[in-house]
Amino acid sequence: MSGSAWLVLVAPLVFGCAEPLVEDSFTPEQWDTLRASFAVPAYDVCQGVPEPRCTQLAELGRDLFSERALSSDGGHVPELPYHAVSCADCHDAGAYYVDTESTPTTTVSTGALKATGHNALPLVNLAIKDVVAGARPAYGWTGLASTADVVLKLALPKAMASTAGTVREALRDKHWTAYVALFGDRTLVRNIPADAAQDAALLANLAAVFDKYERRLVAVNSRFDQFIGGTESALTPEERHGFQLFATTALCIECHDGPLLTDLEFHVTGIRSENLDHGRNSITGDPADEGAFLTPSLRNVGATGPYMHAGQFELVGDVVDFYRRGGDEDGFLGTRDPRIEPIDMTDADRDDLRDFLLTLTGDEPDCHWGGAGSGSACP
Ligand code: HEC
Ligand code: HEC
């Protein structure tokens, strides 16, 4: 739902104020609308690729996910360390694939590459994000990529300072058998130097491999899902009150709606950052996009800190305090979205809203695909 459509939910509160239970707070029609918004849609892991190929692609993706040889070999950017990072260094399988090394002031803190200057995004539920986003450029904090090209536009060139040549060498030297079994054409991994068309074909294969892997990493089934599915007791009365605030007076739902609790649009929340960051405007050049960032998913938010595009906050409660005071006074570009203004709430309300956000933590991704407990402990 876009625009201010959710503002309709604020109305009943004006009359039934401070009622802790949710069941009396919304009309049956409003409940139906809320349930429909948050329900997880059917999503597609293989997208028409038949088995066993679909699984084999994902397996190669899993292997390459921790392959540091895919990162800069120093030839392209000489000051960078040699083969210093893999995807797994910034997307930790044990923590919903966020960067657990980063702190609020130094994001992407593997120490090796700080190429994006942004906080790493979790790599779970991308198959669902794909369904919700459609063709929209909803990947990365600035929407610099759509589904198909996120690895090619973001991960390899920006986060890993890699090139087609580096990729070719890594595959040839370390993953030759698996690569050739899947793609047949040996020339793509053997020919050095290769021409631009060969480079593009090789990188497209690599993107397909990562895509099929990432689509396996699903983390839903939170207590919130049980609650929205009809089990009201899945949340405590305080958490339900937190949801009520989220969906009504605090206006969070205006931007954090849908199956991933994001509208996948770009907004200026007005958050201070060390380097004034143009956000979405750096991609589009549109003045209206100045300082705007993608609304991130709130699923698993209790476990994916630090928060915001530059990791400005360490704790979920810090983010709630940010909204409660109506954002930062300065230190950001663009014009703050008018829906972010000081929220009139008690300290207990603030805690309830935070506690509600913590109910969004779902299952770990299947350990066969690298979630917590993977490796020998995986059944
Ligand atoms: C140096 C740290 C680092 C490495 C290495 C890295 N990433 Fe990332 N990743 C990030 C950051 C930071 C972002 C957000 C960047 C932005 O929006 O500017 C991100 C974003 C993404 C996204 C977008 C997620 C979304 O919901 O929008 C995907 C997909 C992704 N990375 C996949 C990968 C893959 C696959 C690899 C390995 C080939 C990889 N990343 C390597 C730090 C890293
Ligand atoms: C106008 C749209 C909008 C509204 C209203 C809004 N948010 Fe956000 N939210 C965003 C955007 C955009 C970001 C990313 C901002 C950034 O990093 O620059 C964000 C980030 C967050 C994050 C950090 C998530 C992460 O992984 O980094 C949390 C938590 C959050 N919002 C919770 C809330 C809560 C709670 C409310 C209500 C009090 C709320 N939001 C209201 C758009 C909105």
pLDDT tens digits for range 127-153: 999 999 998 889 999 998 777 678 898
Residue 3: pLDDT over 80? no
Query: Rounded to an integer, what is the distance from CA 122 to the centroid of its chain?
Result: 4
The pLDDT-based confidence of 357 (bands split at 50, 70, 90) is: very high
Asked if residue 43 has its Cβ within 6 Å of ligand 2, the reply is: no
Contact 291, 329 (CB under 8 A): no
Looking at ligand 1, which atom is closest to the CA of residue 107?
Answer: 12
Domain ranges of the chain: 5-40+220-358, 53-214
The most confident of 2-6, 91-95, 366-370, by mean pLDDT: 91-95
Q: Which residue from 59, 45, 71, 41 is spatially nearest to 132, judged by alpha carbons?
A: 41
Prediction pTM value: 0.93
The residue-averaged pLDDT of 354-364 equals 96
Homologous superfamily in CATH for domain 5-40+220-358: Cytochrome c-like domain (1.10.760.10)
Distance between CA atoms of residues 333 and 235, nearest Å: 38
Asked if residue 261 has its Cβ within 6 Å of ligand 2, the reply is: no
Residue 360: pLDDT over 80? yes
The residue-averaged pLDDT of 202-217 equals 94
Compute the distance from residue 45 Cα to the ligand 2 centre, in Å: 28
Residue 308: pLDDT over 70? yes
CA atoms within 13 A on the CB side of 163: 12
Residues shown for the chain: 379
Query: Rounded to an integer, what is the distance from CA 30 to the centroid of its chain?
Result: 28
pLDDT of residue 117: 74
In this structure, the residue with its CA closest to atom 5 of ligand 2 is 252
Distance between CA atoms of residues 361 and 305, nearest Å: 12
Asked if residue 98 has its Cβ within 6 Å of ligand 2, the reply is: no
b or e along 312-324 (b: 16 or more beta carbons within 10 Å of the residue's beta carbon)?
Answer: bbeebbbbbebbb
Residue 11: pLDDT over 70? no
What is the longest distance spanned by two Cα atoms in the chain?
A: 72
Percent of all residues in the chain with a pLDDT value above 70, rounded to a whole number? 85
Q: What is the CA radius of gyration of the chain?
A: 22
The structure tokens 């008018």 sit at 338
Contact 30, 6 (CB under 8 A): no
In this structure, the residue with its CA closest to atom 5 of ligand 1 is 87
Q: Which residue from 26, 43, 38 is spatially nearest to 1, judged by alpha carbons?
A: 38
> CATH says 53-214 is which class?
mainly alpha
